[in-house]
Structure 1
Amino acid sequence: MEYGIFEILKLIGALGFFIYGMKVMSESIQKVAGDKLRGVMSLITSNRFSGVLTGFLTTAIIQSSSATTVMVVSFVNAGLLKLRQAISVIMGANIGTTITAILILFLGFSKFSISNYALPIIALGFPLLFAKRADLKYWGEFFIGFALLFMGLDELKHSVPDLKNNPEILEWIANLNELGFLAIIIAVLIGTILTVVVQSSSAAMAITLIMCDNGWIPFDMAAAIVLGENIGTTITANLAALVGNVHAKRAARAHFVFNAVGVIWMLLIFNVYINAVDTFMTMTDHGSPLTNVADVKWGLTYFHMSFNIINTLLMIWFVPYIEKLVIKMVPSKEEEDDEFHLEFIGTSLMQTSEISLLEARKELTVFGKIIKKMHKLSVELITSDSEKKIEKLLKKIEKYEQRTDDLELEIDDYLVKVAEGRLSAASSEEIRAILSITGDLERVADIIMRMSKDASKKAKHKLNFSKEQFKNLEEIIGLVDNAIDTMMDNLNMSYRDVTLDSAMLIEEAIDVKTKKLNKAYYKKIEEKNYDIRTGVAYRDLVFACEKIGDHLINVTESLADLKADD
C-alpha cells in the first residue's frame, strides 16, 4: 500500500477541516446564546445537581466540552464561581460531550449521512451572513460550521489508509492483544496522546469511531482509547489554568482528578463492564460489539455515554472531598492569591471571546481598588508633616501608579486580542467602553501621583497650609472619596443597573466647590500678607481634585452608555 507524504497531508487537512467546522459551529452558537449563556451559568447555586445540569446543557448547546471547561476555569479565575460549583459543572460537561459523539455517529456514519446534504445547508446559511440582524448572521455561521464539520468527517473517513486490503499493517495491534491487560493500559495512553495532539475530544472520538468502522481495532481497545480521551480532554483546561490564579488551577486540577479517578475505577472492572455492554446490546437486538465489527462503533457509543453518566452519578457525592484534595494539590502561596486578577492575558487558549469580557470586568474592579488605595495614601501624605513618612508614602504611591500603567497596557492588549475573534455587537460596544474606562482610571492614577509629588515638595520647602485651607481641602477630598465609592459601586454591579444620578450629584458638588474655592483664592491673592507659594500649591491640589472628579464621572457615563445601547 502506498501512503506517502501527500496522503498524510490530506489526512491532516481532513482533520483540520473537521476541527475548524466544530470551532465555527461552537463559536457561532455561543454568540447566538450571548448573555443568555452567561445567565444560565450565573444561575448555578451551591446545589451540585443544578451545576451538573448546567454543565450538561452548556456543553450540549455549544458542542465543546473544552470550551465549557475553559469557560468554567475563567469564571473561577474571575471569582464568579466557587470551586465546588465549578467541579459539578465540569462533571456535567463530561456528560454533555457524549451528545457530540451521538450526533457524529447518527449523522455521519448512518446510511442517512448529513455530509450528503452539507452543500444545501451551506446554501441556507450563506445568505444569512449578509443579514442586517446580528443574530441571523450568527445562525448563518452556525449552519455553515455544522455543514463543514460533517464534510470534514466525510473527508476524514476517505483519507484514512486502506487497511482492510493490507492487514499486515494491523499486526502490531494483534501483538498488543497478546499483552493482555497491558494492552488496555497502552490503549488508554494512545487515547490520551491522541486527544492532546488534536486538542479536541470530539475529534479524537471521531477518529476512534472511524477506526472502529474500518475494523482496525477491537471493541475493548476502542473503549480503552475512549477512556484515555477522557484524561486527554483535561489538558486544555489545565493549560489555560497555567496562567490563571490559584483558584483557576484548582478548578482545572479538579477536572483532571474527576476524569482520572473515573478511568481508574473503570479499569478495575473493565472486562466485566465490556461484557455488560455486550450483553445489553445483544438483549436489545443491537448486535454484539465483541463478535461483529459493524456493531463496534455502536458499542463504543453506549460505553462512552454510560461511563460518563455513571461516573458522574458516583463522583457527585464526593465533590467536597475532591475540593479538599485539589486545595492540597494547589495550596495558596501568598496573600495575593485571595484577590482575583485577569490572568489569561497573552494566551491563545481562551476560546470564548464573549465570556472573556467577564474577566475584563473583574479586572476593572481591581483597577478601581488600586485607585482607591492611592487616593487614601495621597490624603495621608498631604496631611502629614513628617518628611520620613511622606517619603515612605510617596514610594507606595509610585509603586501603585506603575501597577496602573501595567494594568492599562495588559487590559488594552487583551481586549485587542479578544476583538480579533468573533464578537456580537453588544460585546464590541463593551470592549470600547472598557478601553475608555481604563484610560480614565489610568489618568486618575497619574493625577494622584502628581498631587502626591506636589505635596511632598510642600513639606520639603516648609510650606504650611492655613486652617481654612486644610478645611477646604478636607471638604473637596471628601467629595472625591464619595465619587470613588460611587464609581466602585457601579463597577461591581451589573452594568444594566448603573445609573448616572448619584454620580452626577457628586460631580456637580465637586464643580461647585472648586468654583467657590477658586473665587476665594483669587480674592486672597489681593491681600498683602498672602503666601503665594503656599497658595499655588493649595490651588493645584484643588484643581487636581476637580480633574479626578471629571475622569470618575466619565467612567460611570461609559457604563451608563452600555445600558442605553443594550
Structure 2
Amino acid sequence: MYFFNVISLLGGLALFLYGMRLMGNSLKEGQSGTLKVIMGKVTDNPVKAFLLGLLVTAVIQSSTATIVITSGLVAAGIISLNQSLGIIVGANVGTTVTGQIIRLLDVNGDSFILRLFQPSTLAPIALIIGIIFIMFIKLKKSDNIGNIAVGFGILFTGLLNMTAAVSGLKESGIIDALFLGLGNKPVLGYIVGAGVAFTLQSSSATIGILQAISMAGDIPFKVAYVIILGVYLGDCVTTAIVCSIGAKSDSKRVGLVNIMYNLAKTLLVIVVVFIIHKMGLLNNLWDMRMTSGTIANTNTVFNLACAIIMLPFMKLLGNTSRKIIKDKVMPGGKYDDKIAGLNPVFFNTPAIAFGGCYDCLDAMIHASNDNIEKSISLVRKFDEKIFDELNEEEENIDHLTDCVDTYLVNLSPHVKEDIHVRIMTEYHRVVKEFERLGDHAVNIAEDAKELFDNETVFSEQALSELDIAFDLTKKILNYTIIGFERRDIEAAKHIEPLEEVMDDLTNTLHDNHLARLREGNCSVRAGIVFLDILANMERIADICSNIGIAIIARIKPETAELAHTYTSSLHQGGDSDFNEEYIAAHTEYFGRLSGDIVE
C-alpha cells in the first residue's frame, strides 16, 4: 500500500518541478528582452540595486537565473562587480515570493471566495486558461502566457499530489520518525536541505516540497529552520558553478560573493536563533508544528532581515572575492568587451544571448565598412601604416566571426520561439557576409599595394570613374548598416536597386577601361588591377544585397524561402518603388561619367 503512496509522491514531485520550470522559463522568456536593458541601468546605489534584484527574481521566479544573468552582465562590462552586490542580495529575497504563492495550500473554508483561492480550484482554472491561450488565441505572446498559466496549474497539481501521498505515508509513521530524527540531529537536517537544493538546483522548489510535506507531516520549527538554512547553501553552490562556466574573473566573483553572503546569512541566523532560544523566547515556537504559511514566512523573514543587516557590508564581500580570485593577466584584444557578452550563462535567456551577438555583429559591420573606406583611400594614396592597420583589423574581424559563429551553434539548441528562430537565421546568414566584406577590403588594399610597389598609376579618367563606383559602394554600405542596426526594412529595400545600378556601372566601367587599353591610354598591369577593383566593388554590393534580404526575411520570413524569386521579380520591373529608385540612381551615377562612355 505504501509503495503506491511513494509512487504518487514522486509523481507529484515530478509534476511540481516541471510546472515550476515551465512557469519560470516562460516568465523569463517573456521578460528577457528587457532584462538586459533594465539590469544594465543599475546604479551604484545599493538600495536601488537590491530592489532591482528583488523585482527581477520575483518576476522570473529564480534567484539562480537572476544571479547568472548578473554574472554575465558583469563579464560583459555592462555593470561592475560592486553594482552587482545589491542585486545578489535582492535576488535572495525575491526568491521567497514563490513560497508565499505556495502558501495558498493553507487556504481553507466553504465560502465561494475562499474556495476560489484554494489550490484544488486554482490549478484547474489555470490549466483551462493556459490551454485556451495555447490552442485558441493566436497572438504574439499567447503561447508564452499560456505556458505560464499551464505551469502554474501543473505546479499546484503536483503539490496536491505530494500532499495526498504524504498523508497516506503518515499512517506508517515514517514521516514522523524522519522529522523526529532530524530534530535531534540539526546538522543532518542542514545537510538534507543543502543536498536537495543542490540536486534540484532550486531553493524555491526545495522550500515548496517542505511546504507540501508540512500539510500532512508534523514538522517542528527546530527542524524546518535548519533545513531552510541548508537550502541556502545548496542553491548558492549550484549558482556559483553556473557562474564559473567560461567566465572571466569578475563573473566568477559574483558566484563567490553569493556563496559568502549565504554562509554569512546562515551563521547570522544560527547565532541569533541560538541566543533567543537560550533566553527562552522561542519556547512556544521551537516545537510548534509548521504550516505551509509559517514556512514561507520563516524563509522570508530570514532573508529580509539578513538583507537589511548585511547590505551595507556587501562591498567587504566584494573586496574579499577579489583577494580570493585574482585577475588573469592576458593580452587584451580590441573587441574583448564585445566578445565577453557571448557568455554561455545566457543560453537559457536567448533574448539576452542575441544581444551579445548583436553587439559583436555591429562591431564587425562597422569594422568592415571602415576597412573598405581605408582600402579606397589607399588606391588614391598608398600608406604603409594604414595598410598594416587594415590587415590587423581584418584579423579582429575574423576572430569576431569565429566567436559569434561558435556561440550561435552552441545557442541554437536553446532557441524555441519563432521570433528567436528568425533572429538566429538572420545572424547565421550575416556573420559570414560581414566577414566577406572585410575580405574584399583586403583585396582592394592589396591591389593598391601592387600599384604602389610597381610604381603603376591610373589615369585621371580611371580614377574619376573609380570614385563614382566608390561613392555608390559607400551609399550601399550605409543603407546596409542602417538596415541592420535599426532593423529597418525600408533601409534594407534601398539596397537592391542600388546593387542593380552597381552591376550596370561596373559593366560600363569595364568596357570603358578595355577601350583605354586598346587605345594605349593605360598599361596592362594597371588595367588588370582596375578590373580587379571593379570586381571587388561588385561583390561588395552583392554581399550587401544578401544582408538586405536577410534583414527583410526576419520580418517577412517568406522572403528567405523565395529569395531568388523575390530579387528576380524586382529586377524584372515588378515593383514600382524599386523601378523608381533604380532609375533615379542610374541617372545620378551615370550622369557623373565623362562623355566618352562606351555603350
Q: 1:323 to 1:499 in 2, by over 3 A?
A: farther
Structure 1 Cα separation of the partners of residues 210 and 160 of structure 2: 14
10-19 or 189-198: which moved more?
10-19
SS at match of 2:193: helix
Structure 1 Cα separation of the partners of residues 248 and 464 of structure 2: 44
**Residue 154 in 1 paired to residue 160 in 2?**
yes
Deviation at 1:141, TM superposition (A): 2.1
1:58 aligned partner, one-letter code = V
Deviations 1:407-426 (A, max 9, x none): 4532442453243x2x2x54
Among 514, 529, 534, the residue aligned to 1:537: 529
1:361 aligned partner, one-letter code = Y
Give 1:68-79 correspondences, 5 Å limit.
68-79=66-77
Residue matched to 2:592: none
Among 426, 430, 440, the residue aligned to 1:437: 430
Residue matched to 2:140: 134
Deviation at 1:56, TM superposition (A): 1.8
Structure 1 Cα separation of the partners of residues 492 and 144 of structure 2: 37
Q: 1:416 to 1:531 in 2, by over 3 A?
A: same
Deviations 1:493-551 (A, max 9, x none): 6x368983999799789949867854653342223263223322232123313432553
Structure 1 Cα separation of the partners of residues 104 and 515 of structure 2: 86
Structure 1 Cα separation of the partners of residues 490 and 40 of structure 2: 22
Among 489, 511, 514, the residue aligned to 1:522: 514
Among 423, 440, 446, the residue aligned to 1:447: 440
| Contact 2:482-2:488 within 8 A present in 1 as well | no
**Residue 261 in 1 paired to residue 268 in 2?**
no
Structure 1 Cα separation of the partners of residues 6 and 351 of structure 2: 36
SS at match of 1:134: coil
Structure 2 Cα separation of the partners of residues 196 and 252 of structure 1: 14
SS at match of 1:81: coil
**Residue 121 in 1 paired to residue 119 in 2?**
no
Q: 1:212 to 1:120 in 2, by over 3 A?
A: closer
234-243 or 554-563: which moved more?
554-563
Deviations 1:130-176 (A, max 9, x none): 21213333322222111001111122334459664455787676566
Deviation at 1:265, TM superposition (A): 2.5
Among 37, 40, 53, the residue aligned to 2:51: 53
**Residue 318 in 1 paired to residue 313 in 2?**
yes
| Contact 1:483-1:552 within 8 A present in 2 as well | yes
Q: 1:524 to 1:220 in 2, by over 3 A?
A: farther
SS at match of 2:431: helix
Residue matched to 1:84: 82
**Residue 363 in 1 paired to residue 368 in 2?**
no
2:252 aligned partner, one-letter code = K
Structure 2 Cα separation of the partners of residues 302 and 403 of structure 1: 52
Residue matched to 1:94: 92
| Contact 1:108-1:153 within 8 A present in 2 as well | no
Structure 1 Cα separation of the partners of residues 288 and 267 of structure 2: 28
| Contact 1:458-1:464 within 8 A present in 2 as well | yes
Structure 1 Cα separation of the partners of residues 276 and 473 of structure 2: 68
Residue matched to 2:149: 143
Structure 1 Cα separation of the partners of residues 370 and 250 of structure 2: 24
370-379 or 248-257: which moved more?
370-379
Q: 1:8 to 1:367 in 2, by over 3 A?
A: farther
Q: 1:156 to 1:504 in 2, by over 3 A?
A: same
Structure 2 Cα separation of the partners of residues 274 and 368 of structure 1: 65
Residue matched to 2:208: 206
368-377 or 410-419: which moved more?
368-377
Specify every segment of 5 or more residues in structure 1 that has no aligned partner in the other structure, as ranges. 283-287
**Residue 14 in 1 paired to residue 9 in 2?**
no
**Residue 409 in 1 paired to residue 405 in 2?**
yes
Structure 1 Cα separation of the partners of residues 481 and 249 of structure 2: 25
Structure 2 Cα separation of the partners of residues 536 and 247 of structure 1: 54
Q: 1:371 to 1:268 in 2, by over 3 A?
A: farther
| Contact 1:125-1:143 within 8 A present in 2 as well | yes
Q: 1:301 to 1:416 in 2, by over 3 A?
A: closer
Deviations 1:447-483 (A, max 9, x none): 34555666677788x4734475678768866886797
| Contact 2:183-2:222 within 8 A present in 1 as well | no
Select the structure of larger CA radius of gyration. Answer: 2
Structure 2 Cα separation of the partners of residues 426 and 105 of structure 1: 36
Structure 1 Cα separation of the partners of residues 151 and 452 of structure 2: 67
Deviation at 1:436, TM superposition (A): 3.5
Root-mean-square deviation over aligned CA pairs? 4.6
Q: 1:76 to 1:233 in 2, by over 3 A?
A: same
Structure 2 Cα separation of the partners of residues 277 and 445 of structure 1: 76
SS at match of 1:333: coil
Structure 2 Cα separation of the partners of residues 47 and 277 of structure 1: 39
Deviation at 1:108, TM superposition (A): 6.4
Structure 1 Cα separation of the partners of residues 152 and 229 of structure 2: 26
Structure 1 Cα separation of the partners of residues 248 and 366 of structure 2: 18
Q: 1:436 to 1:215 in 2, by over 3 A?
A: same
| Contact 1:374-1:397 within 8 A present in 2 as well | yes
| Contact 2:69-2:346 within 8 A present in 1 as well | no
Specify every segment of 5 or more residues in structure 2 that has no aligned partner in the other structure, as ranges. 110-114, 558-599
Q: 1:339 to 1:380 in 2, by over 3 A?
A: farther
Structure 1 Cα separation of the partners of residues 16 and 353 of structure 2: 25
Among 319, 339, 352, the residue aligned to 1:341: 339
Among 264, 270, 273, the residue aligned to 1:270: 273
| Contact 1:15-1:203 within 8 A present in 2 as well | no
Deviation at 1:177, TM superposition (A): 5.2
The alignment of Structure 1 onto Structure 2 pairs a total of residues equal to 542
Deviation at 1:21, TM superposition (A): 0.7
Residue matched to 1:285: none
Q: 1:528 to 1:156 in 2, by over 3 A?
A: same
Structure 2 Cα separation of the partners of residues 277 and 542 of structure 1: 91
Identity of aligned residues (%): 22
Structure 2 Cα separation of the partners of residues 556 and 231 of structure 1: 51
Residue matched to 2:564: none
Q: 1:82 to 1:348 in 2, by over 3 A?
A: closer
Deviation at 1:290, TM superposition (A): 1.6
146-155 or 103-112: which moved more?
103-112
Deviations 1:75-118 (A, max 9, x none): 33444433333332232222211110011122467676413442
- TM-score (ref. length: structure 2): 0.74
Structure 2 Cα separation of the partners of residues 42 and 174 of structure 1: 48
| Contact 1:385-1:459 within 8 A present in 2 as well | no
| Contact 1:25-1:146 within 8 A present in 2 as well | yes
Residue matched to 1:292: 288
Residue matched to 1:225: 227
Structure 2 Cα separation of the partners of residues 401 and 496 of structure 1: 22
| Contact 1:289-1:296 within 8 A present in 2 as well | no
Deviation at 1:299, TM superposition (A): 3.8
| Contact 1:19-1:149 within 8 A present in 2 as well | yes
Residue matched to 1:187: 189
1:311 aligned partner, one-letter code = C
Q: 1:513 to 1:319 in 2, by over 3 A?
A: farther
479-488 or 212-221: which moved more?
479-488
Deviations 1:214-263 (A, max 9, x none): 44654233212212222322344433331234443333333333323322
Structure 1 Cα separation of the partners of residues 321 and 373 of structure 2: 38
